[in-house]
Structure 1
Amino acid sequence: MRFFNRITFQTPESVELEFTLAGIGNRALALLIDYTVLAVTLLVFFLTWTVFSTQLFNFFEELITNARNLGLWLIAIFFLIAFAIYISYFVFFETLWFGQTPGKRVAKIRVVRDDGRLIGLQQATLRALLRPFDETLFIGAFLIMLGSREKRLGDLAAGTIVIQTQTPTASTTLTISEQAKELHEKLIEIADFSQLLPDDFAVIREYLQRRGAMSLKARASLSLKLAEQVKAIINLEKLPEAITPDVFLESVYLVYQQPEF
């Protein structure tokens, strides 16, 4: 069994981006945390539904002689809503948190598409709907351990992989301003990063690492050009006021690396 299985994306600019696949251990930890949160949520729902259905049942029992069918309907509705909560939990977080759930954030892993792009509603929904099948007889766990890309059924259907998140590291060649750290939270709400490819990210990262060696004129020209291109990709009409292209690119780097909410 591979403890550090890596996958490499080759960009059109011949830049290789290497990611470490999450592995069965990290995914199990994330699932344990997510199921704990889900269990608490479903327990609250169960208690609320019990009180509501009991009062409703007692009310109709006084009006009709045979209330047994009503009880069966209430039980059926309970299981339907509970299943919807189960599915919606993963769809909601993986869509809005760029491939992460609370468990995945703690385990420092994230779901991305096979080409490295961030997942959307369609991919998150497919993964969630197939999760019950993956967990039947531990089919998903066996597929993850035996497959070269560690994919369960949901990943195969949605075209996704689960990777370890890469936390930006501070260095002399790549510094992130405090202004960018504040801006990236706002960008998450107003921009669409689902079309940002690994090669786009690679270009941004290369610029941020090498800008210190550029002349001021070359740096200003290149940062402006990159910022305009990235704005078009993420469907952002204009930059917020008093935001320089450098700060904008730093914030995009933060969003792609590990979104904070």
Structure 2
Amino acid sequence: MPLFNTITIRTPESVELEFVLAGVGSRAVALTLDYLCLGAGLVGLTLVYSFLLVRLLAVDTVLSIPSETVQLWVTAIAAVLAFFLYIGYFALFETWWYGQTPGKRCAKIRVIRDDGQPERLPQATLRSLLRPIDDILFIGFFCILLSKTEKRVGDWLAGTLVVQTDPVTNSQIRVPERSQAIGKDLLALVEITRLSPDDFATVREFLQRRQAMSPKAKTLVSDQLARRFRGQLGLETLPTEMTTDTFLEAIYFAYQEGN
């Protein structure tokens, strides 16, 4: 019996990818570390709140505003900032770090969408908003234990999975000099901004995983992606003879340079 559950996802390019689910232990470690980081931020916010409140109450006679009103407004603003800090911590980190927070990065897990694509801001925000529900009475803990896909309530509604980080996808992408030169040519020929962050993430995922693919699957996905992005960029002909892998490497380089 395997120690960890796995799930197989068929990509839009008809290639099956297998992921190892994170498990409740790894997720608990990640959440503990994230709450420590978040707690440090809330402590800092509390110190700023206390300092401002003392200073404002000291000059309430100059402001001609009752001290109770000053305290109420400062407390309300601090509460709103604390809420956005709580929501924003998970949502922004998971968006910028492709499904990872500092805690998830240490625990070597990440969030992906049900279709295998990287998590984006809408999914990350929904998961973050629903986190308090999962934390109440350990609802999320029991959902993870009882679900075959190990999802908490936020995962069900956002359409996401939490998986272990594949060592392959952690590898750095080395773009050859020829691909870099073609990428610079592409920047002069097309509007690279026609590609969305999801498109870039798709290219990045392929370039990181291609070494682990079978030759047939690699060729199939590479051809389909090259055809798709060539049409999306409005390229009738390519600037020079190249393989589809080289074209995707050039796109990867050009997108990074152009954004």
Fold conserved (TM > 0.5)? Answer: yes
Give 1:14 deviation, angstroms. 5.8
Number of corresponding residues: 230
Aligned CA RMSD, in angstroms, stands at 4.2
**Unaligned residue ranges in structure 1 (runs of 5+):** 170-174, 184-188, 212-218, 254-261
Aligned twin of 1:135: 135
Is contact 2:60–2:66 with CA below 8 Å preserved after alignment?
A: no
Aligned twin of 1:216: none
| TM-score normalised to structure 2 length | 0.71
Aligned twin of 2:187: none
| Structure 2 CA distance for aligned equivalents of residues 150 and 51 of structure 1 | 44
Deviations 1:179-222 (A, max 9, x none): 36xx8xxxxx9753525679x949x72797539xxxxxxx9xx9
| Structure 2 CA distance for aligned equivalents of residues 35 and 5 of structure 1 | 26
Q: Where do 1:105-254 residues align within 5 Å?
A: 105-168=105-168, 178-179=174-175, 192-194=196-198, 201=206, 205=210, 210=215, 225=223, 228-229=226-227, 231=229, 246=245, 249=248
Give 1:11 deviation, angstroms. 4.7
| Structure 2 CA distance for aligned equivalents of residues 176 and 62 of structure 1 | 59
Runs of 4+ with >2 A deviation: 10-16, 61-66, 175-180, 189-198, 204-211, 222-233, 235-239, 243-253
CA gap of 1:193–1:131, structure 2 versus 1, over 3 A, is same
Task: Determine which structure has the larger helix proportion and give its number.
Answer: 2
Aligned twin of 1:258: none
Give 1:21 deviation, angstroms. 0.6
Is contact 1:177–1:247 with CA below 8 Å preserved after alignment?
A: no
CA gap of 1:252–1:103, structure 2 versus 1, over 3 A, is farther
Q: Which AA in structure 2 matches 1:246?
A: D
Is contact 2:226–2:247 with CA below 8 Å preserved after alignment?
A: no
| Structure 1 CA distance for aligned equivalents of residues 251 and 31 of structure 2 | 28
Aligned residue for 1:37, secondary structure, equals: helix
Q: Which AA in structure 2 matches 1:210?
A: P
Aligned residue for 2:163, secondary structure, equals: strand
Give 1:231 deviation, angstroms. 3.3
CA gap of 1:227–1:52, structure 2 versus 1, over 3 A, is same
Q: Which AA in structure 1 matches 2:227?
A: Q
| Structure 2 CA distance for aligned equivalents of residues 91 and 210 of structure 1 | 37
Aligned residue for 2:103, secondary structure, equals: helix
Establish whether residue 37 from structure 1 lines up as the match of residue 37 from structure 2: yes
| TM-score normalised to structure 1 length | 0.71
Is contact 1:118–1:194 with CA below 8 Å preserved after alignment?
A: yes
| Structure 2 CA distance for aligned equivalents of residues 20 and 223 of structure 1 | 22
Is contact 1:21–1:162 with CA below 8 Å preserved after alignment?
A: yes
